[in-house]
Amino acid sequence: MKRDGVTPWPAELADRYVRQGYWRGKPLGHWMWTWADRDGNRVAVVDGDVVVTYRELAEYADALADHLLDLGLHNGDNILVQLPNGWEFLALFLACQRIGVAPVLALLAHREHELRCLAELAEVKAIVVPDRWQRFDHQRMAADLADSLPSVRSVIVLGEATEPTTGSTVDLRSLLERWQDPARLRARLDAGAPDPGEVALFLLSGGTTGTPKIIARTHDDYEYNARQSGEVCGFGQDTVYLVTLPMGHNFPLGSPGILATLTHGGRVVMLRSPKPEVAFPLIERERATVTSLVPAIAQRWVEAALSGDHDLSSLRLVQVGGSVLDPAFAARIGPSLGATLQQVYGMAEGLLNYTRPDDPADAITRTQGRPISPADEILLVDEAGDPVPPGGTGELLTRGPYTPRGYFRAPEHNARAFTPDGWYRSGDLVRWDESGNLVVEGRVKDLINRGGEKISAPEVEAVVDALPAVRRSTAIALPDPVYGELVCVCVVLHNGQKLTLSEVRALFADQGVAKFKHPERLEIVADFPLTPVGKVDKKALRATILTRDAGSTQAA
Ligand code: AMP
Ligand code: DBH
């Protein structure tokens, strides 16, 4: 391995994954170049008015890879990427795959708090950002980070590169220009192709710890993740995939998403806002056949479809995943959008479950699907770690050809998050349904799932604890009608102290924490209920608050 801190699969299993054809020994994205050769005039990406063919995408990615080498980035290096959905992001992603540079895929919502942790953890050599996005100056943030992080040598900006840094500041679009003869360049890049067992990209985990965790995905493992997902979902040359969610996320990127679409010679349509007013005209114009949504967005789409008059008839499959989907609402999605619903229960850590398009309607609305691979192993265990009886609910443990054996550079956390024999402890409580699919019943992990965005409770607590008025804090999930869950912080204050929600939120903004993590509710309590082993009893705290809320609603 070129990078330290990656936990490999056991050698004999890795051999088996190769022998059984799961791992093909090819760099991620190689099929995009194959399509460029075979049928280069096919359209690969539509992004607003920009149409990019497979040949053009291959040439842009090669040119960019060449320029990245000139910037001093090499096989084994990591870069931090925070970009909006768009063809330039895709070209950059593919360029990285070409030369063994692994992008850490941050979300646009992330701010300095998150980016600094990620950049330090992966010792990134470059940071890629838009100049501004939704009135926020990403370039300024990246320049500040670059100035204070010794590993960072370049800031690459999509838009106008104006902010000087101690290293170099480069305009991403200028790197997409071709300076060399494409055929010669290609031969040179082919010669330096990365080892497929190496890290191709880093995905972010929702996390349950004070600092963010990232997952190193290899070329072999992620190529299979996308290819097998595409197989299960019937992707083909006629697939037109609409990228509704942020494309650095595992769901739109590789489940089956963008990468499987390109594997099959299909067409990717970029969307910058999931709003139905923007998405529906595009579905109509581009005849999109499939997209992926989180439940909160599906809700807006269903409401808009009822009142709107856009032609969505091209849609065949609408994937919904990331957080709990209410079965009664699930039953309305397919009919309202004129497509088959597919529930997706996935994780950046690996294992992917999909309902199958030909499952009975009832299984599609009530279950979260089943694994994509015959080599996926699943074990449901009780609190003592013993298997639960058939039909029982337990914590899902998993291993398999696209489920890595550890988080990147996190030995202490890995000792808890993985069993000694390599099972990933998902923290999800699930059961096998009679249909043969899994049903997610709850979770034992300490996070808040806000409409599919995962928020680590300990991370929130660490920020709140810095307030002088606060003696102790704890973060819990409360129900939210739109996002499913919201962040509630409960605090015990020092004697005579006061605290308001706006003071708490101001602190989060000041610390540069992503907005979706800012607490939406504050509860001041005299003390926390404790479990028999002396930990904060979050369940009891939540129940007390909910009972009190119910009482006050009735009284009102
Ligand atoms: P992450 O580890 O950040 O990639 O988040 C993955 C987690 O999201 C899973 O372990 C589940 O807790 C949750 N999740 C994903 N899909 C679903 C779903 N369809 N229903 C319920 N929870 C889900
Ligand atoms: O929530 C997730 O992380 C998720 C959901 C659906 C995911 O990673 C995926 C599909 O690939």
Q: Which of 259, 344, 430 to mutate to test the pocket of ligand 2 (most atoms within 8 A of CB)?
A: 344
pLDDT per position as a tens digit, 34-84: 999 999 999 999 999 999 999 999 999 999 999 999 999 999 999 999 999
Q: Is 290 inside a domain boundary?
A: no
Using a 6 Å cutoff on CB, does residue 321 contact ligand 1? yes
- Residue among 256, 217, 261 at smallest CA distance from 237: 261
Flag whether pLDDT at 165 surpasses 80: no
Q: How far is CA 150 from the centre of its chain?
A: 27
The last residue of a domain, from among 172, 194, 216: 194
Ligand 1, residue 205: give the atom nearest the CA.
3
Q: Which ligand is nearest to the CA of 323?
A: 1
When divided into structural domains, the chain yields a total of 2
The last residue of a domain, from among 194, 227, 258: 194
Q: How far is the CA of 418 from the centre of ligand 1 (A)?
A: 17
Say what percent of the chain tops pLDDT 70.
Answer: 99
Q: How far is the CA of 179 from the centre of ligand 2 (A)?
A: 39
CATH number for the domain that contains residue 455: 3.30.300.30
Tokens of 242: 């609409």
Confidence of residue 556 (pLDDT cuts 50, 70, 90): low
Flag whether pLDDT at 191 surpasses 70: yes
Using a 6 Å cutoff on CB, does residue 322 contact ligand 2? yes
The mean pLDDT of 3-17, rounded to a whole number, is 98
Flag whether pLDDT at 518 surpasses 90: yes
Q: Which of 440, 444, 446 to mutate to test the pocket of ligand 1 (most atoms within 8 A of CB)?
A: 440
Flag whether pLDDT at 542 surpasses 70: yes
DSSP structure class, residue 515: G
Which residue type, as a one-letter code, is found at position 283?
Answer: I
The residues with which 440 forms a beta bridge, in sequence order, are 430
Using a 6 Å cutoff on CB, does residue 108 contact ligand 2? no
Q: Alpha-carbon distance 318 to 325, whole Å?
A: 13
Ligand 1, residue 368: give the atom nearest the CA.
19
DSSP structure class, residue 70: H
Ligand 1, residue 321: give the atom nearest the CA.
19
Between strands 350-354 and 370-371, the pairing is antiparallel
pLDDT per position as a tens digit, 407-432: 999 999 999 999 999 999 999 999 99
Q: Is 513 inside a domain boundary?
A: yes
User: According to the model, what pLDDT value does residue 10 have?
Assistant: 98
Which residue type, as a one-letter code, is found at position 169?
Answer: T
Flag whether pLDDT at 167 surpasses 90: no
User: According to the model, what pLDDT value does residue 164 have?
Assistant: 75
Using a 6 Å cutoff on CB, does residue 292 contact ligand 1? no
Q: How far is the CA of 217 from the centre of ligand 2 (A)?
A: 14
Q: Which of 323, 396, 437 to mutate to test the pocket of ligand 1 (most atoms within 8 A of CB)?
A: 323
> Considering only CA atoms, which residue is closest to atom 11 of ligand 2?
251
Q: Which ligand is nearest to the CA of 325?
A: 1
**Burial (CB count <10 Å: 0-12, 13-18, 19+), residue 435:** middle
The last residue of a domain, from among 149, 174, 194: 194
Q: How far is the CA of 379 from the centre of ligand 2 (A)?
A: 19
pLDDT per position as a tens digit, 304-347: 999 888 999 999 999 999 999 999 999 999 999 999 999 999 99
**What are the φ/ψ torsions at residue 548 (nearest 5 degrees)?**
-65, -40
| Domain extent at residue 37 | 28-194
Q: Is 132 inside a domain boundary?
A: yes
Flag whether pLDDT at 367 surpasses 90: yes
Q: Which of 428, 448, 483 to mutate to test the pocket of ligand 1 (most atoms within 8 A of CB)?
A: 428
Q: Is 452 inside a domain boundary?
A: yes
Q: How far is the CA of 175 from the centre of ligand 2 (A)?
A: 32
Question: 534: how many CB neighbours lie within 10 A of its CB?
Answer: 7
Q: How far is the CA of 237 from the centre of ligand 1 (A)?
A: 29
> Considering only CA atoms, which residue is closest to atom 6 of ligand 1?
347
Q: Is 471 inside a domain boundary?
A: yes
Q: How far is the CA of 452 from the centre of ligand 2 (A)?
A: 8
User: According to the model, what pLDDT value does residue 555 have?
Assistant: 66
Flag whether pLDDT at 296 surpasses 70: yes
Sorted by sequence, the CB contacts under 8 Å of residue 115 that are 6+ apart come out as 80, 82, 106, 127, 141, 142, 145
Q: Helices marked H in 273-382 — which ranges?
A: 276-286, 295-307, 327-337, 361-366
Using a 6 Å cutoff on CB, does residue 246 contact ligand 2? no
Q: Which ligand is nearest to the CA of 342?
A: 1
Q: Helices marked H in 440-527 — which ranges?
A: 457-464, 501-510
Confidence of residue 399 (pLDDT cuts 50, 70, 90): very high
Q: How far is the CA of 322 from the centre of ligand 2 (A)?
A: 5
Q: Which ligand is nearest to the CA of 207?
A: 1
CATH number for the domain that contains residue 186: 3.40.50.980
Give counts: helices (H), strands (E), the chain.
Answer: 19, 25
Q: Alpha-carbon distance 288 to 279, whole Å?
A: 10
Q: Is 431 inside a domain boundary?
A: no
Q: Alpha-carbon distance 267 to 33, whole Å?
A: 14
Ligand 1, residue 443: give the atom nearest the CA.
12
Flag whether pLDDT at 354 surpasses 80: yes
Q: Is 357 inside a domain boundary?
A: no
- Residue among 4, 7, 5 at smallest CA distance from 406: 7
Tokens of 235: 């992707």
Flag whether pLDDT at 200 surpasses 90: yes
Using a 6 Å cutoff on CB, does residue 85 contact ligand 2? no
Contact present, 431 and 421 (Cβ < 8 Å): no
Q: SS3 for 33?
A: helix
Q: Alpha-carbon distance 114 to 514, whole Å?
A: 7
What order of strands is seen across the sheet that includes strand 168-171?
Answer: 168-171, 154-158, 126-130, 78-81, 102-105, 199-204, 214-218
Q: Is 167 inside a domain boundary?
A: yes
Q: Alpha-carbon distance 112 to 135, whole Å?
A: 16
The mean pLDDT of 508-520, rounded to a whole number, is 97
Average pLDDT across the chain, whole number: 96
CA dihedral 19, 22, 26, 28 (to 10 degrees): -160
Q: How far is the CA of 229 from the centre of ligand 1 (A)?
A: 17
Contact present, 318 and 338 (Cβ < 8 Å): no
